[in-house]
Chain A
Amino acid sequence: MDKMSYRDKFIQMNKEAKATWIIAFIIIAYWFISGFGVYKMAPKAMILNMPAWFVLSCFGSWILSMVLVGIITKTVFKDFNLDDDDEEVTK
């Protein structure tokens, strides 16, 4: 648990929100490319007897989301007290 001032918490939370936006847009981009992109290039390709574009986009976006959320919650997101108890400690 990091000790942070109220102000520092907001700087940190803005970073976290930005990271969330970034991974959301990565997922959207991946979703478009793996779905419509793969369908355009190889409409007949199959994985497990199902259309390749379907498997890559639906399961792919889901797995990618889990991985990216896992990464940002481990690296960008920080644990801190949500109450402002330790406010004065850091000043």
Chain B
Amino acid sequence: MQRVSQRPTYKTIVSVAAAVAIVAVILALGAQKNFGPQQYGQLVVAGLGAGAIYALIALGFVMVYTVTGIINFAQGAFVMLGAMIAATIYGDASSGDAVGLVIAAIIAILATTLVGVAVERLTIFPARNADTLTLIIITVGVYIAIQGVGLVVWGTSAKAFPAFTTLDITDGTLRFWGIVLKTQTLWIWGTTALVLALLTLFLGRTLTGKALRACSVNKEAARLMGISPTRMSVFAFGLAAGMGALAGIVLAPATRPIYDMGLKLGLKGFVAAAMGGLVSSPAAVVGGLLLGLTENVAAGVTKSGLKDVFAFIVLIAVLLRKRGIFAAGTDLERP
């Protein structure tokens, strides 16, 4: 009993000390660059903007991982497909066509969902008896294949997609206390929150959602209850692809979608999901926000060229810990 109560206290002290040390280092580095509250506020806002996208992508990783045990590295390709298909259907980004934007988004999400289903049926299902690592490597192959198709279809030039608020390539900006906020960032935050809420409701309240969760808890028991794990696998891939496409579409106005955008976004999404322990949607969202915050603030006070370095330092830390940063007791090993 005593040991159990003592360990968290010790851990808490270490965590607090580490946090204080990190903040001190950030402030010391920032002081050298004459950073004031405004600069820090800006870095935080920009970090949370990028983080919300990582979070949205991470949700797709979590969805597939919990149901099938596979890390789906093709998730980044779904993000690319969503953005590229939407931009292609919409066409001229300065036409100001709100209805067209919604239609383009819906078609892109549906098309990408179909691609997700096809990926599961054509590559994962035939190899369903192979071990998990083989399946993960298959998803890497799928990513490369989809990116290759994207290159052939769309070429190497970037596309333009209008910001949702202004319906123009040029996004609106909000300014308060000297901090600049793109209106598209609000859409990204809203979308992430909405998707998380809907996902929670879906998994908690609907029969299909409960079946998905059952598969993630125990595949054999779920099968005995009359749930088909292979069908759930298709479902998870489709849903993950749709969510990835949505992430690509809300991100598209903030970037300029291009055929090879998926690789780094997918990796960052994976880092976010791994930070959250890979099995919990809310934890993945927090992981994404934290990742965006970490890399942006760290890059801001040091060199921006090191941004990705910080992101992958986080990945190494998480992988060495062999579990997420929050769920200290969660066993990541799936049944």
Query: Do A and B interact with each other, yes or no?
Result: no
B positions within 8 Å CB-CB of A:
none
A positions within 8 Å CB-CB of B:
none
